[in-house]
C-alpha cells in the first residue's frame, strides 16, 4: 500500500490522488510505481544508434574504462556524450519549433491574413525590429512587422553567419563564444548537425560533441526561446504584474470548465477573447451554466496568466488530476508536456480531449486543428463543444478547495520599470542592493515536475532556502506554479520567508521575493535580465562575473537539458536535481561539471537534495561576490550633517 499523501506537498494533488486510487483511475503517479527506471538508461550507458547493438555498457564494479566500448569501438565517453547531445537537440528543436509557429502567425498577422490577432505592443516591435536591423523610419507598423517577420524566419534556416540575438549578450560573453567556436549559425542547422555528428561512426571525441551541444543549446536560449518570447510579447502584450489565482480549486462546479494545456499561446489567446463573446455567453445560459471558466495548465497557463490573469489549474504532474475532478468539460492540448495518459483519464469521465496542433495527435482524442487564418472561429467552435458537453457530466464532481492568490508578469521590462521608475527605468537599485549586500545574489529556479521526486517539494524547499539567504529568485514554468501554490508569489511572502536584507528591498519596492517571469521559453527573459545587470555596471563585465546561479530541482524533459546547457554556456552555475544523465561517464561529467568553468565560467552540478542544492548555489554566489570584492559586509552608517558636508 502506498500513501498518496506522501507523493506531493500540495494538498489539492494528494486529495485527488486519493480519489483516483479509490476510483481505480491510472495516473502518472500509479504508473511510476509499476515501472522502475532502467538503471543502464539512467546513467545513459546504452547505445542504440545502430543495429549492431544495442550495446549496454553499465558501470559495474568490475568494468574498467577501457572495457566499456561498444561493438564499433565507441567509448563510453562518446556514447554518453552522444546521448546527451541528442537530448539537448530535442529540447532545442521543441522550443524553436514553437518559435517558428509563432513567427509564421506573426507574419500572417502583419499581412492581415490571421483572424483575431494584432500587433499589441508597438514599442516592443520597434525595439526588436532594431535588434534585427530593420529600418523603422517612415514605415507603417505592418510594414515593419513584415520585414521583421521575414528576418526572424531566416534565423531558422541560415547556413552561415551568426544568430542576431547573440549581439545582445555582453561583449565579453560573445568573445568567449567566439573563442570556442560555438556561436550558432542557424537554429535548424545546429540541430541537424547534432543528429549527423551523433550518427554511427561520425564525431567520436566527447569534447568536440559537447561543443556542438553547446552551440545548439545557445541557438535555443539566444535564438528560438528568445524569438518566442519577443514575438509573443509584440502580438499579445508584454506582461506587467497581474493578480491571478492558482491550483485545482480554480475549477468551478457550476461553470463550463475549459483547460488550455500545452505551450504555444496562440489558440489560448483567442479562447480568452472568445470566452467573452455574446454568442458563447448565450449558449452557456442555455445549458444552465453560470459561465465559461477558462483555466490554464503547464506553460500555456503561465502565458495566459501573465497577460490576462486567467487562473492556473496547475503544473505538469496535475494535468491528469484536473480531469479526475470530473468537472472538466474540455481540455485543449497543442504541443509538449502533454501526457498520453490524459486520454484514458478523459474516457473515465465526460471530458473531451482536443488536440489542436498539426504536429501532435493523441489516439482517441478529437483533433480540431488550429490555423491562424480562421483562429477565432476555431476558438469558438471549441468553446461550443465544451458548452454542449456540460450537461453530460456523469460523475459526482469533486473540486479540492485549494487555490492561492498569485502575482505574475515580471518581464524584464517590468522589473526595469519597477526598480527604476518610468523615466529612469534601470537595474541600478538591484545592482546597488547586491553591492551593499542586502541582496546576496540572484537565482533562476525553473523547470518541470518529476514523478520520481515529491511533487513541488524540490522547488519549494530550495527556493525557501535561497530567499532565507537573501537571494532574490526568478522563476518560470512549473517551478513558478509550485511557488504560486505555496504562497511565495505575493508581496507578503517577503516578510514571511526572506532574509532581512532581501525582505527590506522587496517591501520597499512592493514585490514578492520570488518573481514569476513566465513560461519555459521565457527563460530567455532571465538571460536578458542578467545581461541588464552586467550593463548596469558594478558587477563585472560578463554574466559569468555576476553573483547568480540557476537550478531545475525537479527536471524531467529534454527541454530542461537544453535550457541548462545554454545557461551554463552563458556563464551561469546550474544545479539539477532528480537524476543526472551523464553519470555513465566520469570524463564527460567532469568536463561539464569542472572543465566548463574554465571554458565558459558556468558549469553544471548535480544535487538531488534541494537544501544542499541551494547551499551549493549560495556558496557559488559568495565566491562571485568575493571575486568582485563585495563580500565584506558593510556597516550601515547613518550620516549626520557634518559627515555629509565632509563628502561634498
Ligand atoms: Ni518547461 Fe518542463 Fe513542461 Fe513547461 Fe513544465 S514540464 S521544461 S515548465 S510545462 S515546458
| Mean pLDDT score, 31-41 | 95
Four-point Cα dihedral 84, 88, 48, 592, nearest 10: -10
Q: Looking at domain 409-628, which CATH architecture does it have?
A: 3-Layer(aba) Sandwich (3.40)
Residue of 232, 215, 205, 126 lying closest to 163 (CA atoms): 215
Give the lowest-confidence range in 443-452, 574-583, 605-614, 636-645.
636-645
Please check whether residue 350 is in contact with residue 393, taking contact to mean a CB–CB distance below 8 angstroms: yes
Strands 404-408 and 242-246: antiparallel
Which residue minimizes the CA distance to atom 9 of ligand 1?
298
Burial tier of 131 (Cβ tally within 10 Å: 0-12, 13-18, 19+): middle
Cα of 316 to ligand 1 centre, how many Å? 7
If one compares 417 and 192, the residue with the highest pLDDT of the two is 192
Q: How far is Cα 640 from Cα 284, in angstroms, rounded to an integer?
A: 67
pLDDT at 648 > cutoff 80: no
pLDDT in tens, 147-185: 999 999 999 999 999 999 999 999 999 999 999 999 999
Cα of 117 to ligand 1 centre, how many Å? 25
* Rounded CA Rg of the chain: 25
| Mean pLDDT score, 587-599 | 98
Cα of 446 to ligand 1 centre, how many Å? 9
If one compares 310 and 63, the residue with the highest pLDDT of the two is 310
Which residue minimizes the CA distance to atom 2 of ligand 1?
448
Question: What pLDDT, on a 0 to 100 scale, did the predictor assign at position 471?
Answer: 98
Quickly count: other Cβ atoms within 10 Å of residue 601's Cβ. 23
2 — pLDDT class (breaks 50, 70, 90): confident
For a pocket test of ligand 1, which of 265, 319, 557 has the largest count of ligand atoms closer than 8 A to its C-beta?
A: 557
For a pocket test of ligand 1, which of 225, 259, 316 has the largest count of ligand atoms closer than 8 A to its C-beta?
A: 316
CATH 3.40.50.2030-classified regions of the chain: 242-392, 409-628
632 — pLDDT class (breaks 50, 70, 90): confident
Cα of 518 to ligand 1 centre, how many Å? 11
Burial tier of 171 (Cβ tally within 10 Å: 0-12, 13-18, 19+): exposed
pLDDT in tens, 333-390: 999 999 999 999 999 999 999 999 999 999 999 999 999 999 999 999 999 999 999 9
426 — pLDDT class (breaks 50, 70, 90): confident
Cα of 478 to ligand 1 centre, how many Å? 6
423 — pLDDT class (breaks 50, 70, 90): low
For a pocket test of ligand 1, which of 296, 317, 336 has the largest count of ligand atoms closer than 8 A to its C-beta?
A: 336
For a pocket test of ligand 1, which of 313, 447, 555 has the largest count of ligand atoms closer than 8 A to its C-beta?
A: 447
Query: Of the CATH numbers 3.30.70.20, 3.40.50.1980, 3.40.50.2030, 1.10.443.10, which one belongs to the domain with range 242-392?
Result: 3.40.50.2030
417 — pLDDT class (breaks 50, 70, 90): confident
Q: Which atom of ligand 1 is nearest to the CA of 337?
A: 3
Please check whether residue 539 is in contact with residue 631, taking contact to mean a CB–CB distance below 8 angstroms: no
76-236 carries CATH number 1.20.1270.30: yes
Give the lowest-confidence range in 206-220, 340-354, 425-439.
425-439
Which residue minimizes the CA distance to atom 6 of ligand 1?
448
pLDDT at 635 > cutoff 70: no
CATH 1.20.1270.30-classified regions of the chain: 76-236
Q: How far is Cα 40 from Cα 54, in angstroms, rounded to an integer?
A: 11
Cα of 553 to ligand 1 centre, how many Å? 12
pLDDT at 646 > cutoff 80: no
Cα of 336 to ligand 1 centre, how many Å? 8
pLDDT in tens, 70-108: 999 999 999 999 999 999 999 999 999 999 999 999 999
Q: Which atom of ligand 1 is nearest to the CA of 477?
A: 8
548 — pLDDT class (breaks 50, 70, 90): very high
593 — pLDDT class (breaks 50, 70, 90): very high
Burial tier of 139 (Cβ tally within 10 Å: 0-12, 13-18, 19+): middle
Cα of 646 to ligand 1 centre, how many Å? 55
Q: Which atom of ligand 1 is nearest to the CA of 563?
A: 7
Question: What pLDDT, on a 0 to 100 scale, did the predictor assign at position 182?
Answer: 98
Cα of 263 to ligand 1 centre, how many Å? 9
Cα of 29 to ligand 1 centre, how many Å? 17
Q: How far is Cα 456 from Cα 462, in angstroms, rounded to an integer?
A: 10
pLDDT in tens, 521-545: 999 999 999 999 999 999 999 999 9
What percentage of the chain reaches a pLDDT higher than 90?
A: 93
For a pocket test of ligand 1, which of 478, 479, 522 has the largest count of ligand atoms closer than 8 A to its C-beta?
A: 478
pTM, two decimals, is 0.95
Residue of 576, 517, 569 lying closest to 544 (CA atoms): 569
Cα of 319 to ligand 1 centre, how many Å? 12
Residues with CB under 6 A from ligand 1: 298-299, 316, 336-337, 447-448, 477-478, 520, 557, 559-560
131 — pLDDT class (breaks 50, 70, 90): very high
- Which residue do the cell numbers 515536475 mark? 449
Q: Which atom of ligand 1 is nearest to the CA of 519?
A: 4
Question: What pLDDT, on a 0 to 100 scale, did the predictor assign at position 421?
Answer: 67
Cα of 450 to ligand 1 centre, how many Å? 10
Q: How far is Cα 317 from Cα 397, in angstroms, rounded to an integer?
A: 20
pLDDT in tens, 275-311: 999 999 999 999 999 999 999 999 999 999 999 999 9
pLDDT at 435 > cutoff 90: yes
| Mean pLDDT score, 256-277 | 96
Cα of 402 to ligand 1 centre, how many Å? 22
pLDDT in tens, 474-493: 999 999 999 999 999 999 99
For a pocket test of ligand 1, which of 87, 297, 298 has the largest count of ligand atoms closer than 8 A to its C-beta?
A: 298
pLDDT at 641 > cutoff 80: no
What percentage of the chain reaches a pLDDT higher than 70?
A: 98
Mean pLDDT of the chain: 95
637 — pLDDT class (breaks 50, 70, 90): low
Question: What pLDDT, on a 0 to 100 scale, did the predictor assign at position 318?
Answer: 98
Q: How far is Cα 583 from Cα 34, in angstroms, rounded to an integer?
A: 24
Amino acid at each position: 500500500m502506498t500513501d498518496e499523501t506522501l507523493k506531493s506537498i500540495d494538498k489539492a494533488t494528494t486529495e485527488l490522488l486519493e480519489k483516483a486510487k479509490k476510483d481505480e483511475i491510472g495516473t502518472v503517479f500509479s504508473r511510476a510505481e509499476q515501472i522502475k527506471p532502467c538503471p543502464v538508461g539512467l546513467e545513459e550507458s546504452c547505445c542504440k544508434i545502430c543495429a549492431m547493438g544495442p550495446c549496454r555498457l553499465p558501470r559495474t564494479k568490475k568494468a574498467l574504462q577501457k572495457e566499456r566500448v561498444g561493438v564499433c569501438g565507441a567509448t563510453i565517453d562518446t556514447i554518453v556524450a552522444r546521448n546527451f547531445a541528442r537530448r539537448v537537440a530535442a529540447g532545442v528543436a521543441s522550443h524553436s519549433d514553437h518559435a517558428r509557429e509563432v513567427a509564421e502567425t506573426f507574419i500572417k498577422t502583419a499581412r492581415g491574413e490571421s483572424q483575431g490577432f494584432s500587433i499589441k505592443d508597438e514599442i516592443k516591435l520597434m525595439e526588436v525590429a532594431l535588434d534585427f536591423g530593420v529600418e523603422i523610419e517612415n514605415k507603417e507598423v505592418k510594414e515593419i512587422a513584415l520585414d521583421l517577420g521575414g528576418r526572424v524566419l531566416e534565423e531558422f534556416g541560415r547556413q552561415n553567419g551568426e544568430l542576431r540575438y547573440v549581439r545582445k549578450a555582453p561583449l565579453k560573453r560573445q568573445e568567449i563564444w567566439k573563442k570556442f567556436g560555438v556561436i550558432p549559425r542557424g537554429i535548424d542547422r545546429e540541430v541537424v548537425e547534432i543528429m549527423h555528428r551523433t550518427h554511427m561512426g561520425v564525431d567520436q571525441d566527447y569534447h568536440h560533441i559537447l561543443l556542438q551541444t553547446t552551440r545548439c543549446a545557445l541557438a535555443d536560449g539566444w535564438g528560438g526561446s528568445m524569438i518566442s518570447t519577443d514575438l509573443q510579447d509584440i502580438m499579445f502584450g508584454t506582461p506587467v504584474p497581474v493578480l491571478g489565482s492558482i491550483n485545482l480549486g480554480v475549477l468551478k462546479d457550476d461553470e463550463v470548465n475549459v483547460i488550455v494545456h500545452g505551450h504555444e499561446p496562440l489558440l489560448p489567446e483567442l479562447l480568452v477573447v472568445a470566452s467573452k463573446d455574446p454568442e458563447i455567453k448565450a449558449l452557456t445560459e442555455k445549458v444552465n451554466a453560470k459561465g465559461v471558466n477558462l483555466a490554464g495548465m503547464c506553460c500555456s497557463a503561465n502565458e495566459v496568466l501573465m497577460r490576462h490573469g486567467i487562473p492556473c489549474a496547475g503544473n505538469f504532474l496535475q494535468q491528469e488530476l484536473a480531469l479526475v475532478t470530473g468537472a472538466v468539460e474540455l481540455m485543449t492540448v497543442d504541443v509538449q508536456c502533454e501526457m498520453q495518459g490524459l486520454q484514458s483519464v478523459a474516457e473515465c469521465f465526460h471530458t473531451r480531449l482536443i488536440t489542436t496542433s498539426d504536429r501532435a495527435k493523441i489516439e482517441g482524442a478529437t483533433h480540431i486543428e488550429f490555423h491562424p487564418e480562421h483562429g477565432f472561429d476555431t476558438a469558438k467552435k471549441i468553446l461550443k463543444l465544451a458548452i454542449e458537453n456540460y450537461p453530460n457530466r456523469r460523475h459526482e464532481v469533486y473540486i479540492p478547495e485549494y487555490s492561492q492568490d498569485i502575482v505574475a508578469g515580471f518581464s524584464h521590462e517590468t522589473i526595469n520599470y519597477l526598480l527604476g521608475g518610468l523615466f529612469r527605468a534601470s537595474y541600478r537599485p538591484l545592482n546597488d542592493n547586491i553591492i551593499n549586500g542586502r541582496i546576496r545574489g540572484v537565482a533562476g529556479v525553473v523547470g518541470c515536475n518529476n514523478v520520481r521526486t515529491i511533487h513541488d517539494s524540490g522547488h519549494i524547499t530550495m527556493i525557501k532556502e535561497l530567499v532565507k539567504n537573501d537571494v532574490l529568485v526568478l522563476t518560470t514554468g512549473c517551478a513558478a506554479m509550485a511557488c504560486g501554490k505555496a504562497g511565495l508569489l505575493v508581496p507578503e511572502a517577503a516578510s514571511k520567508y526572506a532574509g532581512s536584507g532581501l525582505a527590506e528591498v522587496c517591501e520597499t519596492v512592493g514585490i514578492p521575493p520570488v518573481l514569476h517571469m513566465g513560461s519555459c521559453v521565457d527563460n530567455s527573459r532571465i538571460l536578458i535580465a542578467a545581461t541588464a545587470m552586467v550593463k548596469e555596471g558594478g558587477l563585472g563585465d560578463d554574466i559569468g562575473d555576476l553573483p547568480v546561479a540557476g537550478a531545475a530541482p525537479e527536471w524531467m524533459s529534454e527541454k530542461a537539458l537544453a535550457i541548462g546547457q545554454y545557461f551554463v554556456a552563458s556563464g551561469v552555475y546550474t544545479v539539477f536535481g532528480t537524476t543526472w544523465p551523464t553519470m555513465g561517464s566520469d570524463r564527460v561529467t567532469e568536463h561539464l561539471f569542472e572543465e566548463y568553468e574554465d571554458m565558459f565560467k558556468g558549469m553544471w552540478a548535480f544535487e538531488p537534495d534541494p537544501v544542499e542544492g541551494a547551499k551549493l548555489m549560495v556558496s557559488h554566489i559568495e565566491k562571485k561576490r568575493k571575486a568582485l570584492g563585495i563580500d565584506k559586509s558593510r556597516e550601515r552608517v547613518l550620516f549626520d550633517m557634518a559627515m555629509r558636508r565632509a563628502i561634498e
